[in-house]
Structure 1
Amino acid sequence: MSHGTLADEIRRNLGELSPAERKVARVILAGYPSAGLETVASVAERAGVSGPTVLRFAGRLGFGGFPEFQAALRSEMQEREASPLSLYEAAGVPPGDSDEGTLLARSGATFSTAVARTLAELPAHDLETTVTLLGDPKRRIVLRGGRFTHLLARYLGLHLMQMRDAVLLLPDRDVERTAALSGLDRRDVVVVFDYRRYEPDALALAQLAAERGGKVVVFTDTWLSPASAHADVVLPSRVSSTSPYDSLVPSLAVIETVVAHVLAALGPSAHDHLRRTEATARRIGLV
């Protein structure tokens, strides 16, 4: 695969598949990733095609057969579930560069490549849709972060609060969070940050928002959060790092890109809102 997940590869090749092979692709994408681990006979029955069609589908993706496709899928699923501990134990002790220049060069190469690839692979349509949704003054923006990614949710939320009204960071306390989510409706845009190891509440929140008719934007990694199944927009980022911890640097670059475009889309209204917030902050002695 050139980059991304097997799901990405399947989507990129849909136009090259025969009608019958596209049926197989849709069955696998609809139940991704578990559907891809079923038997050839089971996938064929669900897609309404023959067994050989399933085998040809795998061949179209460059695999020697369906078992090879499934092996690649299992490997991807193991990467999805990786933790800092498992990554540390798999790689051993990180190299201790005594030369500061070597350390900086290695970090620079890793992070710059991850950011460049993330932005190059970012679907333009999804970026444009995100900007449209976040810049719509008739919609409320609700942001949810995770164990580490609450930092990203807060960062994006604080920027949006300076540009527009109706921006809510989900509170941590159960009663407050429940109250905030009880009022979700079709006017809401729920922004979910969820990276491996994925958190169950992210999936539940995305599903709830979709059921209520709201829009869902998911920031995630290249293996895709399960919440992506209910998303209108998915913005994946590379997480390459020089440590066992996944890097959020590329995701921050995506957020900065979104912020810049939302500001431009809002135009004079964002300027007016910034001016009012600045005046209010001065009035109450915060600046």
Structure 2
Amino acid sequence: MDRQDEVPQALGDLISRNSTRLTEADTRLLGVLMQDPVRAAMENGTAVSSRAGVHPASAVRLARRLGFKGYPEFRSFLQSNLIDGVGDFESPAARMAARLVRAEEGGLLSSVLDSEIAALEQVRNTVSDGNIRAFSQSLRDCRRVFILGRGHFAALSSLIALRLKRSGYDSVDLGSQMHQLPEALATLSPEDVVWFLAFRRAAPVVQEVRAIAAARGAKTLAVTDLKGARIDPAPDFQILVSRGDPGESQSLVVPMTIANAVILDLAAIDEGRSLRSLNEFRAFRADSGLSKALL
């Protein structure tokens, strides 16, 4: 559409605003779209028209009556709502259904692999070694590292904290200490670093911890996508990456790859600290006598 601020935030709103201009063919098309908005976001105009039993050009005419230049722009609007998780696409089940619809074209596993490969290629084109080095230098020079990820990224937060600990760095996984967050952050200082993982949107607790870090003078890092980028105040260093286009698998491999690159670069610049600590941990684990089930 010509003006972004005039775009309604759901398909239902769009129909209501233009109801007096709709034809019988439009009504049939909209019935199909409203019945399955997720599928509508993935199909082209010809496929939607076929399901509605109208002329293939009817979808284009509908899109123009609704204020779009053509059906591809209308579909982009639907996909944007899908990835934002608003209106007709606000549930995780709807987003998963959209990925299943996309997978029908070439097989489920192939669809997931294609999505992961495409997302990783975008990382190659958008993230530089300089971005990685800014993170690793911050970690090398700090006293402690606090990592915070919520939802799916709580698992990545835990993994980063574990790997840093084995590399000889005092790391705290805040995601596993939400019930003791005040105690964990009470001694936060300018010598510390807080590393955020925020995708789709920054959770309220991310904003709250960011405010505490700012008040305490701690350095902050963040790996986000565009939707999760609104952290205020802005982090000292931030890497923005896409985890996949609308209707594609939203990659967990992408942020994990960024984290792996940071930890590897850290080992390259910390004058052997990481390598010595890893060797010492390996020797301790072998000689500790602790049950293998615990390790």
Which TM-score applies when normalising by structure 1? 0.63
Deviation at residue 261 of structure 1 after TM alignment: 0.8
Q: 1:119-268 to 2 correspondence within 5 Å?
A: 119-136=124-141, 138-170=142-174, 172-174=176-178, 176-227=180-231, 229-240=233-244, 246-268=250-272
Deviation at residue 126 of structure 1 after TM alignment: 2.9
Give the match for residue 282 of structure 1. 286
RMSD: 3.3
- Per-residue deviation, residues 248-272 of structure 1 (Å, max 9, x unmatched): 1211111121121111112422221
Shift in CA distance, 151/90, structure 1 to aligned 2, threshold 3 Å: closer
Give 3-state SS (helix, strand or coil) of 1:168's partner: strand
Q: Is the 8 A contact 2:115 2:248 kept in 1?
A: no
Q: Is the 8 A contact 2:194 2:220 kept in 1?
A: yes
Shift in CA distance, 97/206, structure 1 to aligned 2, threshold 3 Å: closer
Shift in CA distance, 268/244, structure 1 to aligned 2, threshold 3 Å: closer
Give 3-state SS (helix, strand or coil) of 1:210's partner: helix
Give 3-state SS (helix, strand or coil) of 1:144's partner: strand
Q: 1:43-82 to 2 correspondence within 5 Å?
A: 79-80=83-84, 82=86
Shift in CA distance, 248/241, structure 1 to aligned 2, threshold 3 Å: farther
Structure 1 alignment gaps of length 5 or more: 1-71
The separation in 2 between residues aligned to 1:264 and 1:103, in whole angstroms, is 39
Larger radius of gyration: 2
Letter in 1 for 2:125: A
- Give aligned-pair identity as a percent: 19
Give 3-state SS (helix, strand or coil) of 2:122's partner: helix
Q: Is the 8 A contact 1:143 1:191 kept in 2?
A: yes
Shift in CA distance, 160/84, structure 1 to aligned 2, threshold 3 Å: farther
Q: Is the 8 A contact 2:102 2:111 kept in 1?
A: no
The separation in 2 between residues aligned to 1:121 and 1:234, in whole angstroms, is 12
The separation in 2 between residues aligned to 1:197 and 1:126, in whole angstroms, is 22
Shift in CA distance, 280/106, structure 1 to aligned 2, threshold 3 Å: same
Q: Is the 8 A contact 1:170 1:180 kept in 2?
A: yes
The separation in 1 between residues aligned to 2:117 and 2:99, in whole angstroms, is 23
Deviation at residue 247 of structure 1 after TM alignment: 2.2
Letter in 2 for 1:112: I
Shift in CA distance, 127/81, structure 1 to aligned 2, threshold 3 Å: farther
1:117 to 119, 122, 130: 122
Q: Is the 8 A contact 2:158 2:175 kept in 1?
A: no
Give the match for residue 88 of structure 1. 94
Structure 2 alignment gaps of length 5 or more: 1-75
Letter in 1 for 2:242: R
